[in-house]
Structure 1
Amino acid sequence: MRLSHLLVCSVFIFFVLYAPQPLLGLFAEQFSVSPATAGSLMTATMIPLAVAPLMYGLLLAKRNPLTILRYTMLLLAVTCIAFAYAPSFELLLLLRFLQGLTLPAALTAMTTYIGSTYQAEHLQKNMTLYIGSTIAGGYFGRVFAAVFADLWTWQSFYFVIAAGLIGSALCIPRHQVAIVSNALSPLNYLKQLATAAVLKLYGAVFCMFFCFAALLNYLPFILRDTFLITNTRDIGLVYSGYLIGALASIATPWLLRKSISPWHLLSAIFMFYSTTMVFLMSSQLLVFLLAFTGFCGAMFIIHSTAAPLVNKISNAPPSVTNGAYVSFYYSGGALGSFLPGLVYQYYGHVAFMAALLFVCLCGLALVAAGYFAGKKTTLG
């Protein structure tokens, strides 16, 4: 399978994941629910995303990941069509939960294929390109959903997503040879992940995405309440700072060459990530937008550095390593998409950002601890 085809599949898959985010305010009004309840549309998807990838990783250790990718994309297309016709908020939640059960199979299949097919510099380069595609899918999924909702209806974009998923899935080659690893029990696979450096890196990734999912989930409400921006198209355009993440992630290999080790780069970027959260407490729109741009760039550099690093230092098969990575990543997203919303709902914008800053500093501490735990592996 061509890498370019895989990247197109990734874009449409991330359309599914993030399209509802700029529409949360619209859903809150349309179905008469609170901001935290509307935010649960993201939580409903990220809870299974937090649990299922590790199980899928164990499954994919003995299966062709491209076959899994094809069928999961077709299932996602069906759920998108059903989502567009859902008459109640409860049904929207159910469909988002079903998407959450399906998405991790696709995400783990893609990262497994890359981790198994490429090595050394090619692994770093192609994993970075994959992460760039997830950024593009996340950004354009949010913006197009907001623009379609403003110009036509929010449902119309879901029909576009379904068509893209079906077309991309049907073009995945069927003759690809399955990537099979040595037959071990699930417990033995998991034991291979249980090293201090790997677990601390997973924990840092959890903290990173907790903060990111929280801010992007409640961004429409912050823009409405603090900056009086209510139009869905304007809210979608604010997500343009997200594009800087794509540029930043592409620069990650260059930054790694300039750094002593990936751990040093992660520490520096976590500190920058924390700094942006201080400025995101501002009630000045320009300061907020500049900080948001830096926030997005920092997150994706961390992601682009951590994903290849964990593949290099883990002794487990790529499917298990990446399945666990996706599990920790979206565990942070599941909690971040809901719990900080309660802080925002009761204490406001500044307290919300202060809570995220605390979690980010925990991530920085885990990176530092992971560096010392795996120093010989990563520098020697």
Structure 2
Amino acid sequence: MAILYFMPIKSFLAIIYTTVLTISALHMPQPLLPLLSNVFRSEMDVISLIMSATFIPLTFIPIVSGVILNFLSPKRMILFAALAHSIIVFGISITDQLQLAIFLRFLEGFMISMILTSNTTYISLKAKKEKIQFYMSYYIAFTTIGGLLGRVIGSVLATFFGWQACFQVMAVSLLLVIPIVYFFLDDIVSPKQLSNKLPLKELIEIVFEKTNKKIYLSVFCLFFIFTAITNFLPFRIKSLYAESTELTIGFIYSGYITGIAISFIAIKIIKLLGDERKTLLLGLSCYAFFLVMFIIPNLLLIFIVMFGFCSGMFLVHSVSSGYLNKLTTTQKSLVNGAYISIYYSGGVLGSYLPGIIYKNFGWEFFIVCLLIMLFVSIYSSFKLSK
């Protein structure tokens, strides 16, 4: 196994376990949204705040974490955040008030962002420059696995044991992060950067650097669209087939499997096509084709389309993240923090605003609006230097 030659296997496995559990917790409520809407007696656009609230801290806390990680090790950051995350998730399972559940999900977003920024920073510090794309592709693949497991296992637990069981099982699983990280990760800190600039000024320069800004804009649109589809697809399925259960909705997300496979072979696709730019355009073209296919009102077709849709999304995501880290020689924690922040900014808006469009103008117009966003992403990637 190639990983053994570039990073201690125990360290990478600790990062992977932490990532899978963290992403699972983030996305677990998505297939449960129609159920939670009934439980808390709320409208579609209101219950979607369960997801939006968690994405909000992910838009700015990674940047703050990026600054802190210049002084504090990723290991210590993860240990603190994992403990707090477990307590918060358990708190969600015992509340009967929607406002409190949304607030706890908001707090959960802080912990998730701290963990994810620490994970990517740890990889960029431990891996050799020429192997960063390799590790980031694997890392993205396991974030995809986390998204799949969170949604599918969450829907299974909700169907047979109730929605509270989802959060309680997750809370216990998150506690296991603590001993694994404590024993398996090294206590390393980012090299101190000799700079007279304020972190905010450095961040602005990073975000608006010629190549970085194109990648950041592309992934913003990418995740806006992905979150919109995955957040409101359960309501679309319910409108087409009222008898659909949480289990049925959960398995619609099986398309993540191809996203996982694509992330693992992203490096080979780059080599086959010649460079990252061509690979990004291929992924976005695939993304566009399957996005249009969601208009067709057929449950089996929706199930099939998710496989292609996820393939395009995660090819772009894995290549973008790895490409950005490969280009970066300094301030890796800030670069990764900015990437996560901008990526999840798309998630915040995508998890709420398209719901208003869907509710008032219908599914077809909803898809058309997302397609316009996708053209922005395609244009931004097309303008990358050859």
- Give TM-score scaled by structure 1 length: 0.94
Within-5 A mapping of 1:295-334: 295-334=309-348
The CA deviation string for residues 7-54 of structure 1, in whole angstroms up to 9 with x for no partner, is 011111112101111111011111110111111111011111112111
Aligned to 1:186: 199
Segments of structure 1 that go 5 or more residues without pairing to the other structure are 376-380
What is the count of residue pairs matched by the alignment? 372
Rate the CA distance shift 1:89–1:187 in 2: closer, same or farther, 3 A.
closer
Whether the aligned pair in 2 keeps the contact of 1:198 and 1:314 (CA below 8 Å) is: no
Matched, 1:345 2:356: no
Cα drift, residue 188 of structure 1: 5.0
Instruction: Determine if contact 1:57/1:108 at 8 Å carries over to the other structure.
Output: yes
Question: Of 225, 228, 234, which residue of structure 2 is paired with 1:211?
Answer: 225
Q: How far 1:285 sits from its partner (Å)?
A: 2.5
Kindly state the Cα deviation for residue 229 of structure 1 after the two structures are TM-superposed. Answer: 4.9
Structure 1 residues 49-128: aligned runs within 5 Å: 49-128=58-137
Determine helix, strand or coil for the equivalent of 1:2. Answer: helix
Residues 29-68 of structure 1 mapped to structure 2, 5 A cutoff: 29-68=38-77
Letter in 2 for 1:180: P
Q: Distance in 2 between matches of 1:9 and 1:77?
A: 12
Unaligned runs of 5+ in 2: 1-9
**Aligned AA (1:352):** F
| Paired AA for residue 124 in structure 2 | G
Does structure 1 residue 364 correspond to structure 2 residue 378?
yes
CA distance in 2, matches of 1:14, 1:193: 24
- What residue is the counterpart of 1:378 in the other structure? none
Mapped contact 2:74–2:188 kept (Cα < 8 A): no
Q: Structure 1 residues 132 and 108 mapped into 2: Cα distance closer, same or farther (>3 Å)? A: same
Q: Distance in 2 between matches of 1:336 and 1:16?
A: 19
- My pick for the range that moved more, 107-116 or 129-138, is 129-138
**Residue 222 in structure 1 maps to residue 236 in structure 2:** yes
TM-score (norm 2): 0.93
Q: Which consecutive aligned stretches of 4+ in structure 1 deviate over 4 angstroms post-superposition?
A: none
SS in 2 for 1:359: helix
Answer yes or no: is the 8 Å Cα contact 1:193–1:315 preserved in 2. Answer: no
SS in 2 for 1:32: coil
Deviations 1:258-286 (A, max 9, x none): 12210111012111111111111111233
Alpha-carbon separation, structure 1, partners of 2:290 and 2:309: 6
What is the distance in 1 between the residues matched to 2:252 and 2:178?
31
Question: For residue 140 of structure 1, what is the aligned residue in structure 2?
Answer: 149
Identity across aligned pairs (percent)?
30
Note if contact 2:130-2:326 (Cα within 8 Å) is conserved in structure 1: no
1:199 and 1:183 map into 2 onto residues whose CA distance is 24
In 2, Cα distance between equivalents of 1:360 and 1:61:
35
User: 1: distance between equivalents of 2:174 and 2:240?
Assistant: 37
Q: Contact 2:285/2:312 (CA < 8 Å) preserved in 1?
A: no
